[in-house]
Amino acid sequence: MPVLALIRRDEPTGCDRQANLSRCRHEWRIVLGLASGSDLIANGLVFFSFSLRAMGALVVSVQTEPVSPPERSAVDTSRPASFSSKPASSGAALKPLDNLELESYRAVHPLAVGALLFGVISLLCFVDPWTFGLAAVLAVVMGLSALARIRKDADIYTGSQLARIGLTMGVICGLSSLTNDYISKYMRERSASQFARDYVEILKTGDLDQAVFYRLGAGSFRKNNDPKKAIANLKASAKGAGMDPYETLSSPIVQIQQALKTASKENLRFDAVETSAMDGTLPVVMVRLAIAGYDAQANNNQGAKSERESYILLQLKAETKGGDYDWWVSDVVYPYTPRSAFFQATVDTHGHAH
């Protein structure tokens, strides 16, 4: 006869029968078989005994499944604490791009901007290196300071490229303008020295009108005018005037010629260049001459032979044409104390130092 056999398989270990059956998974299998009479007798007691043990938990042809918890919109507290659930709304979190923009923002250091600004201003050093040279110095100092600050606080400041540009411009413009000024000064003083030596030879001749003629204008004027006519016109202009321009221009030269008569003409020589400057666009050079063996201060300023030297100051001005200097004697001072003259932008020809 048919025998219905119920057999339980793979009961999980540690299953508590008192717990919720939904947390314990039991799988049962129904075995339907036909047994003979002899088998029924032999296996009856075994089957009966097993059935009694399993009666409390038998579910015929049923496999229990755990009950799924309801979906939650917030955090699932049934999960272990080591796991975090997704937020209910993705908009509540900061966007990664916004975070990166805030973290990567760096301010341009003010010293870098200042270095660039003064670097641009330093271009004017070629116009006047002594006036705008300070801009080149500030560009270098601020550029170096900016690079040091940016290197120290790289996560806060930027602008190293601006600092390098300003620093480079300051160095190039500053050094180039100084070099150009030094070369120009050297060439200017060299040309003035040669002209002063030529004028010394004119003073030695004793020709007063010729010496005064070199005070009237540059080489272009002397080339286009006859010395005698120019001096005659100068003397004629004194008629009816309160001051004689010829006497004003010739008086220091007369004193020099008197000193050369007492000493010797050969004792007159070129001594040194004291200083040079620019009067607007006109180069100005202060040249010192010396008369050896003559003291202009001796004998109550009447002058006398002496082992000492007396000095003459020539103030030379020039017109520039194609890099050449066309000089004339703007002022003559005698007697003169070395290193006592100073230059003013406006100089007249009244025979005294300014």
Q: Are residues 302 and 233 in the same domain?
A: yes
CA–CA distance from 278 to each of 156, 175, 344 (Å)?
A: 48, 20, 10
Task: Specify if 297 maps to a domain.
Answer: yes
CA–CA gap between residue 330 and residue 316 (Å, rounded) = 5
Read off the pTM.
0.59
Q: Are residues 325 and 240 in the same domain?
A: yes
| 85 close to 76: Cβ distance less than 8 angstroms | yes
Q: Specify the DSSP class assigned to residue 124.
A: G
Name residue, tokens 């947390």. Answer: 23
Task: Specify if 10 maps to a domain.
Answer: yes
Q: Is the pLDDT reported for residue 201 higher than 50?
A: yes
Task: Specify if 80 maps to a domain.
Answer: no
Task: Specify if 309 maps to a domain.
Answer: yes
Q: Left (φ > 0), alpha (ψ -120 to 50) or beta: where does 308 sit?
A: beta
* Average confidence (pLDDT) over 120-149: 92
Q: Are residues 133 and 48 in the same domain?
A: no
Task: Specify if 65 maps to a domain.
Answer: no
Q: Give the rounded percent of residues in the chain with a pLDDT score beyond 90.
A: 36
| 231 close to 221: Cβ distance less than 8 angstroms | no
* Average confidence (pLDDT) over 35-62: 42
* 125 compared with 142, residue with greater pLDDT: 142
The rounded Cα 314 to chain-centroid distance in angstroms is: 43
Please report the pLDDT score of residue 26 as a whole number.
Answer: 42
The pairing of strands 107-108 and 157-158 is: parallel
* Average confidence (pLDDT) over 184-190: 92
Q: Are residues 166 and 233 in the same domain?
A: no
Q: Which domain holds residue 114?
A: 104-181
Which pLDDT band holds residue 18 (cuts at 50, 70, 90)? very low
Task: Specify if 189 maps to a domain.
Answer: no
Task: Specify if 86 maps to a domain.
Answer: no
Q: For residue 206, what are its two tokens?
A: 């004793």
pLDDT digits (tens, 9 = 90+) for 148-172: 999 999 999 999 999 999 999 999 9
Please report the pLDDT score of residue 149 as a whole number.
Answer: 94
* 27 compared with 198, residue with greater pLDDT: 198
Identify each DSSP E strand in the chain by its residue range.
2-9, 27-34, 107-108, 157-158, 268-279, 282-295, 304-321, 324-333
CA–CA gap between residue 133 and residue 139 (Å, rounded) = 10
Which pLDDT band holds residue 293 (cuts at 50, 70, 90)? confident
* 238 compared with 292, residue with greater pLDDT: 292
3-state secondary structure of 92: helix
Name residue, tokens 């409390």. Answer: 56
Q: Count H helices and E strands in the chain, helices first.
A: 10, 8
CA–CA distance from 318 to each of 186, 238, 289 (Å)?
A: 15, 26, 19
Q: Are residues 311 and 255 in the same domain?
A: yes
Instruction: Count up the domains in the chain and report the number.
Output: 3
Name residue, tokens 């100084």. Answer: 178
Mean confidence (pLDDT) of the chain: 74
Final residue before a domain boundary, out of 122, 147, 181:
181
Q: For residue 329, what are its two tokens?
A: 């004697």
pLDDT digits (tens, 9 = 90+) for 243-255: 788 888 999 999 9
Task: Specify if 94 maps to a domain.
Answer: no
Q: Is the pLDDT reported for residue 280 higher than 90?
A: no
Give all strands of the β-sheet with 324-333 in edge-to-edge order.
268-279, 282-295, 304-321, 324-333
Q: Is the pLDDT reported for residue 64 higher than 90?
A: no
Q: Are residues 222 and 329 in the same domain?
A: yes
Q: Is the pLDDT reported for residue 265 higher than 50?
A: yes
Please report the pLDDT score of residue 338 as a whole number.
Answer: 87
| 141 close to 117: Cβ distance less than 8 angstroms | no
For the ranges 8-17, 80-89, 132-141, 216-225, the one whose mean pLDDT is highest: 132-141
* Average confidence (pLDDT) over 55-71: 43
Please report the pLDDT score of residue 30 as a whole number.
Answer: 36
Q: Is the pLDDT reported for residue 262 higher than 60?
A: yes
Please report the pLDDT score of residue 54 as a whole number.
Answer: 42
Q: Are residues 212 and 325 in the same domain?
A: yes
Please report the pLDDT score of residue 19 as a whole number.
Answer: 46
Q: Are residues 118 and 155 in the same domain?
A: yes
Q: Are residues 118 and 171 in the same domain?
A: yes
Which pLDDT band holds residue 14 (cuts at 50, 70, 90)? very low
Q: Are residues 219 and 329 in the same domain?
A: yes
Please report the pLDDT score of residue 220 as a whole number.
Answer: 86
Q: Are residues 167 and 216 in the same domain?
A: no
Please report the pLDDT score of residue 308 as a whole number.
Answer: 77
pLDDT digits (tens, 9 = 90+) for 309-318: 889 999 999 9
Q: Are residues 160 and 214 in the same domain?
A: no
